[in-house]
Structure 1
Amino acid sequence: MHLVRKWPYTVAVSVSVLVGIASIIGSQVLGIPLKDPEGFLGPAYVRLPLLGLLLSGVGVLIAATRRRGWRRIPRGVSEVIKHEWTLRRTLYIMTGLVTFYVSYVAYRNLKNVLPLYRDDTLYDRGLLQTDRWFFAGHDPATVLHAVLGTDITAMLLSFVYLSYMPLVPISLGVFLVLSRDVRVGAWYATTLCLNWVFGVVSYYVIPAVGPVYSRPDLYVDLPGTGVSSLQQALLDNRLEFLTSPLTSDAIHGVAAFASLHVSVTFAAALFLQRTTRNSIARTAAWTFFALTSVATLYFGWHYVLDNVAGMLIGWGSLVIGAWATGCTKEHLRKMREEPELDLPQEKELASMTGRAV
């Protein structure tokens, strides 16, 4: 076990390789080519390196400014790059981005072929009945629409829900680049990898399409939003893929149990709770998680049990990630007592340069 934790990326790399192999086998058995899902900045192999470069530059500027002030940024940049951006740190950041990319693409491809393996048995009816039990005989959507309204609330929750897609890779880049402790960045990258893996396993164990597709009549009163457009696009992709799975360019992306929106945002909130002293960041993370959870029920993406399972996946991924990277309570306590960014002190720079500061 000690050897597993000696390098903080051992589990993340192992998991990404295994799920990558599983996605290749799962697709090739059916004769379906692997697909690279596109995101808000194009294909993942383009946006992740761009994101890494952008956040690295921002991280260097922040550190340089804190080090030397706005008037001496060039000197600060030179010092930060020289004393902080070691080859080891750079490789760790690259490893975190690559493991995220591989596991996410594998997750999307396994989700893509899900209906060809498991569409014969869908659990939507049972999950709908469970929802009504939780809400005293009513559908969650009906209750939420009546209590929260269907105008401004729909627009707000749509914005929150859609913000998840760019915020996940951005948050990874932030934790990898700005964290002064490389193990902490590895912890978050490992947590995300595990979320994708546990999430896609849950899709295959309990396949379901979600309330909005099994009971669309419950959502006809909602106004047109970015979420409704996305739901229609996913339905169109599902139908196109099922019509011609071997030749279709569409990526199937419909799966309800469990909610990865909930699992990832819950894991991120827990992560910030344990790693940062910034109360604003912690409050923002918990607020985003709460609003995201409501949005999944409000728009009919998920059932109540989907969200419960999502929270369990998020918590489990975070705990396993902490163990795998050696981020013990004692390690985190020492980290919180030190500066947020790994900046060399004035005396250390003086000794390095051989002159007074």
Structure 2
Amino acid sequence: MQTVRSWPYTVAVVVSILVGATALVGTHSLGIPLKDPEGFLGPAYVRLPALALLLFGIGLVIAGLRRAGWRELPRGMAEVARHEWSLRRIVYIATGLITFYVCYVGYRNLKSVLPVYRQDVLFDNQLLDVDRVLFGGADPAAVLHTILPPDLAAPVLSFVYLLYLPLVPVSLMAVLVLCRDLSVGAWYATSLSLNWVLGAVSYYILPALGPVYVRPDLFAGLPDSGVGELQTALLRNRLEFLADPRSSDVIQGVAAFASLHVSVTFALALFLQRTASTRSLRIGAWTFFGLTFLATIYFGWHYVLDNIAGMLIGYIAVVVGGWATGQRRRGNQAVVVTGETEGSRSLASA
């Protein structure tokens, strides 16, 4: 029993079982089959192992070069694999992938059936009112469009927003595969899983579509971009799903409160702030979070309150994830500052 309690993936496994069962029951009770969401590099069950193998190969080559140099690379790689890639490490990585995958699939399916369970319940008008109060009677998106000219800002912010799609699985793979400290990898995997779960809960608490779908006039002047195409595709999928939820093959993906783009990028930045020894990596993560925050408002994905709630979710996910994986008990050893501990070397080398 002590081993189970001290295993860093105990909470992640329990949470994944609960959210997976909830999604299964919730969709089955409506006569809607559970769906596997496709995305970057195909279905999640394909892209996650593929990315893990790719990053394993990259990490093995880098570590082999450090150990033996170019001329003895095969020998160096063999030694690294033999001495550093134990069965325990492989099991930990596999557990992180599986818990993330189950929570993500559960989250996407619970989000998909949200309009069926919460029919005709939307809080967009109230959230619009809050936005205007916060901005002195103006719409935040309109203010940003004035400050940041669309012809210059829209392409950049669109790129940043869409970069989130591959960033999530890639960052997870990078931490799990390249991180020598297995409990730190479990920390990030647990934090991401909690983001999905808390995000799904927030959708049901305060259902909303988002400014671009209730006030499209505010965004009509924006130039064509990948974000605009994605918004159109999501609306089309939503309408197709609502026309016949039981027979539709698509996943409905429109929900504003809270912003998972903000929660996940905030969680990543906060996690790296507490674990990464490279200052440029921390600055890059916080910069990416800030630009993502702007992009969600700029393109009308979210209201300001959505983003504030997203930051709260990200913070809770990192703090609870750290507690669940034993980082509080380890004190400052989990914080990578000087590079003197195994944990501190974890994200800087592999």
For normalisation by structure 1, the TM-score amounts to 0.93
Structure 1 stretch displaced more, 333-342 or 212-221: 333-342
Partner of 1:128 in structure 2?
128
The percentage of counterpart residues that share the same residue type is: 63
Deviation of 1:327 after TM superposition, in Å, equals 1.3
- For 2:347 and 2:272, the matched residues in 1 are separated by 18
State the Cα distance separating 1:330 from its structure 2 match: 2.8
**What CA deviation, in whole Å up to 9, does each residue of 1:299-329 have, x standing for no partner?**
0000000000000000000000000001133
Q: Is the 8 A contact 2:275 2:347 kept in 1?
A: no
Contact 2:276–2:336 (CA under 8 A) maintained in structure 1: no
In the other structure, the counterpart of 1:331 is 333
* Cα drift, residue 332 of structure 1: 1.1
Give 1 or 2 for the bigger CA radius of gyration: 1
Q: Which amino acid aligns with 1:320?
A: V
Match runs of 1:127-166 below 5 Å: 127-166=127-166
1:204 to 2:204 alignment:
yes
Q: Distance in 2 between matches of 1:343 and 1:290?
A: 24
Within 2, Cα distance between the matches of 1:185 and 1:74? 27
Cα distance between partner residues in 2 of 1:89 and 1:109: 30
**Residue 176, structure 1, aligned to residue 176, structure 2:** yes
Is 1:109 the counterpart of 2:109 in the alignment? Answer: yes
Distance apart, 1:180 and its partner CA: 1.4
**Displacement of 1:333 after TM fit?**
4.4
Give 1:250 deviation, angstroms.
1.5
For the 8 Å contact 1:67–1:343, the answer to whether it is kept is no
The question of whether the paired residues in 2 share the 8 Å contact of 1:84 and 1:342 is answered with: no
Letter in 2 for 1:286: W
- Superposed, 1:272-287 pairs within 5 Å as 272-287=272-287
CA contact (8 A) 1:188 1:321 kept: yes
Matched residue SS, 2:71: helix
Per-residue CA deviation, residues 165-214 of structure 1 (Å, 9 max, x unaligned), is: 10100000000011110000000000000000000000000000000001
Match of 1:308 in 2: 308
Residue 233, structure 1, aligned to residue 233, structure 2: yes
> 1:58 offset after TM fit, Å?
1.0
The amino acid that maps onto 2:108 is: R
Aligned residues of 2:103 and 2:197 also touching (Cα < 8 A): yes
Give the Å deviation of 1:5.
Answer: 4.2
Q: After superposition, give the CA deviation of every residue in 1:2-54 in whole Å (9 maximum; x if it has no partner).
A: 66640000011111110000000110010000111101211111111111111
The farther-off stretch of 330-339 and 61-70 is: 330-339
| 1:68–1:76 Cα contact (<8 Å) kept | yes
Aligned-pair distance for 1:60? 1.0
Report how far residue 70 of structure 1 moved.
2.2
Contact 1:63–1:343 (Cα < 8 Å) also in 2:
no
Say whether 1:48 aligns with 2:51. Answer: no
Aligned to 1:30: 30
What is the Cα-based RMSD across aligned positions, in Å? 1.7
Asked if structure 2 preserves the Cα contact closer than 8 Å seen for 1:194 and 1:317, the reply is: yes
Q: Is the 8 A contact 1:5 1:325 kept in 2?
A: no
Gaps in structure 1 of 5+ consecutive residues: 345-357
Distance 1:256-1:4 versus aligned 2 partners, 3 A rule: farther
* Distance apart, 1:103 and its partner CA: 0.5
